[in-house]
Amino acid sequence: MKLDDIKKLQQKKYRAEFGHFLVEGEHLLLELQKAALHNPALLASQLYVTAAYEHWQSPFKTQVISDRQMAQIADTQTPQGILAVVPMAALTPPAAAPGERAIYLHEIQDPGNLGTILRTLAWFGGFRCLLSPASVDPYNPKVVRSSMGAIFHAPLELDVELESLGTRFARIACLDMQGEPVQSASFKAFDCYLFGNEARGVPREQLNALGARPFTIAGCGAIESLNLATTVNMCAYELNR
């Protein structure tokens, strides 16, 4: 890929056009290489390094570029000097494994929230993440960085319509201000767990149409709500206790 085109991958429309996204920095490259051991499609990634990393051991096709060129294509202000261009198609999720639970995120907007959620789901395993239309782009560099490489390990489906959940999952739970406590034994009995937009949640009529059973995380009442990523993290922990 031409360097001018790589620079464009910082924008969503060009990621969609070229079908690739950026992975930058040593830690993320190590996670990418680890994931490629189990997902050969990732071997189509292309590595770009400065002279400081020209001896980096990698299974990817590698091109050495100047510090100036790296600064032009990298997303960060002070790039480390190592960057990969990864094909999105390589992250097409496999079929759901037996017993796998789905975490559905409805119109999530914050890149940091999504990255943190993916990191949690990858840590525990046994989850797949479903993103609704109008959600943040998971290949946004901020999502990729905050996931700390989890984007390569947590199965991720895009543009999953909320209405489709009813035909796909027999038992759906949602998080609400009112409901049974997540500590209850019944919380673990569901196939899909639905979480709403950071500000608006999920329209009540749509939850009712899906027959989603409400659960809640009890608090002392001092503040109005929990951060979305924190809520998902706590629920994932409860489901794995």
Q: Is the pLDDT of residue 198 over 90?
A: no
pLDDT tens readout for residues 81-139: 999 999 999 999 988 888 899 999 999 999 999 999 999 999 999 999 999 999 999 99
Write down the pTM of the prediction: 0.92
- CATH hierarchy code of domain 101-239: 3.40.1280.10
- The domain limits of the chain are 3-91, 101-239
Determine contact, residues 182/235, Cβ cutoff 8 Å.
Answer: yes
pLDDT band at 200 (very low <50, low <70, confident <90, very high): confident
- Rounded CA gap, 51 and 31, in Å? 21
pLDDT tens readout for residues 148-179: 999 999 999 999 999 999 999 999 999 988 88
Between the alpha carbon of residue 204 and those of residues 28, 208, 213, the distances in Å are 39, 6, 12
pLDDT tens readout for residues 48-57: 999 999 999 9
pLDDT of the residue at 225: 80
Please list, residue by residue across 178-187, b when 16 or more beta carbons sit within 10 angstroms of its beta carbon and e when fewer do: ebeebeeeeb
pLDDT band at 203 (very low <50, low <70, confident <90, very high): confident
pLDDT of the residue at 139: 97
On the CB side of 7, CA atoms within 13 Å amount to 9
Q: Does domain 3-91 have CATH number 2.60.40.1120?
A: no
Instruction: Dig out the tokens for 7 from the structure.
Output: 């620079």
**Pairing of β 213-216 and β 172-181:** parallel
